[in-house]
Amino acid sequence: MQAIPYGRQKIDQEDIDAVVSTLQADFLTQGPKVNEFEDKFAKYVGAKYAVAVNNATSGLHIAVSALGLKVGERVITTPITFAASANCVRFVGGEVWFSDIDPDTFLLSLEHTKRLIESKPKGFFKGIIPVDFAGLPVNLEGFRELADKHGLWIIEDACHAPGGYFTDSKGNIQMCGNGNYANIGVFSFHPVKHIACGEGGMVTTNSEMLYKKLASLRTHGISKDNMSENHGGWFYEMQELGYNYRLTDIQSALGITQLAKNDKGVVRRNEIANTYKNAFKGKINYQDQPKGAYNAHHLFVIEVEDRKGLYDFLRTHRIFAQIHYIPVHTLPYYKDIGYESADLSNSEMYYSKCISLPMYPSLTDEEQRFVIEKVLSFVYG
């Protein structure tokens, strides 16, 4: 059997044709494909505005900048995420505070976050960055209530979750990144994620003010809006310090065809998840699925006692499982800052057991049966 990775992109002829025709068109970057991708993505998640960027890390950077985060200001996130969810706060000199996960959903715990916020004076924190970990949407309704009470903003790191949703207390479906509860949502188009652009990302919001700020920061802080004085057609102003975080037309063309296939991919991911769950039920622990939530399943994580043993055993069968994630507060850069006093025991316990099994739409039934058989044979001898 072929090697089986934990994740894999799927590029078909339609994707290739779309990229080739963009290469033959007038614009390689800053052309019509970027706008088309933004419009289609905004519609897909149900947000008013979308800003395409060169990767989600840049997207997180301009998100915290657009919200006005400054040196020394404090933001809360989960330790069970990719480092970029926290790094964006450091890019602008902010302080990262970690709050623990819920041991069943593996998501940032509303209870822990509430306790952390309420243990400090008013105004101590500026924002919260919850992560739709593994593709399971955070129920942002409770976080919004908490944030409003304390004057905080919310950035939803939805990199794992295009197509996922939770159901709010009124019974309404809330798509990840729709901006109804979070101020800003951020998505990644790295090939291991759902939609592959090579590199790429999208920032979504319902606020026109934030949209304008995000679009400006993506392109050097330059604007051509102020044409009141008659300077001439070449005129532009640099209003603020921005970056070049643009996505190309080539990547956007790929993003458009990939986005069109996302629903089908998420359905297949859920089929694969259900097959794993049926095989492991009552034997091996996996991520809880709260009522009304639809998991986009970037990952399928299980918890086992001898995690290193299973990881190595699977590799001998050319099954390349992966670990998501080493808790961010234990990475050397963050360790040096010092998080000894924070109680993050659920995150540390989770990390000692977690392992992500192969999860991608093109995984075959035969390959999945092989993975399940090997996992069960390791755990049960």
Ligand X SMILES: *Cc1c(COP(=O)(O)O)cnc(C)c1O
Q: Residue 351 forms beta bridges with which residues? A: none
- Alpha-carbon distance of 70 to 239, in angstroms, equals 18
Give whichever of 81 and 204 is closer to ligand X, judged by the CB atom.
81
What DSSP element (H or E) covers 304?
none
User: Which residue of 62, 80, 84, 253 would you call a contact of ligand X, by CB under 6 A?
Assistant: 84
CA distance 84 to 91: 10
Shortest Cβ distance from residue 366 to ligand X (Å)?
Answer: 28
- Catalytic hit among 40, 114, 126, 193: 193
Nearer Cβ to ligand X (81/287): 81
> Is 380 in contact with 324 (CB distance < 8 Å)?
no
Minimum separation from the CB atom of position 317 to ligand X (A)? 26
Dihedral sign (CA 273, 275, 278, 283): negative
Total of chain residues touching ligand X, rule CB under 6 A: 14
Which amino acid appears at position 79 of this protein?
P
Q: Considering the complex, what minimum distance in angstroms separates the CB of residue 117 from ligand X?
A: 22
| From candidates 81, 205, 287, 368, binder to ligand X by CB under 6 A | 81
**Interface with ligand X includes 251 (CB under 6 A)?**
no
* End-to-end CA, the chain: 22
Query: Which residue of 41, 44, 82, 153 would you call a contact of ligand X, by CB under 6 A?
Result: 82
- Running DSSP on this structure, what letter comes out for residue 244? B
Which 8-state DSSP code applies to residue 342?
Answer: S
Strands 319-320 and 4-5: parallel
Please, which residue, 7 or 179, has the CB nearer to ligand X? 7
The candidate with the shortest Cα–Cα distance to 258, out of 184, 60, 250, is: 250
Per-residue binder mask for ligand X (CB under 6 A), 113-152, x = binder: ------------------x---------------------
Question: Is 160 an interacting residue with respect to ligand X (CB under 6 A)?
Answer: yes
* Closest C-alpha to 65, from 90, 38, 34, 47: 90
Cβ–Cβ under 8 Å, residues 359 and 272: yes
Q: Is 70 a catalytic residue?
A: no
For residues 43 to 72, the per-residue mask of contacts with ligand X, x marking binding by CB under 6 A and - elsewhere, is ------------xxx---------------
Task: Tell me if 156 contacts ligand X by CB under 6 A.
Answer: no
User: Does residue 188 interact with ligand X by CB under 6 A?
Assistant: yes
Find the binding residues for ligand X in span 193-212 (CB under 6 A). 201
Q: Does 303 bind ligand X (CB under 6 A)?
A: no
Cis? peptide before 181, omega within 30° of 0: no
Query: What amino acid positions are annotated as catalytic residues?
Result: 193
Q: Which residues bind ligand X (CB under 6 A)?
A: 55-57, 81-82, 84-85, 131, 157, 159-160, 188, 190, 201
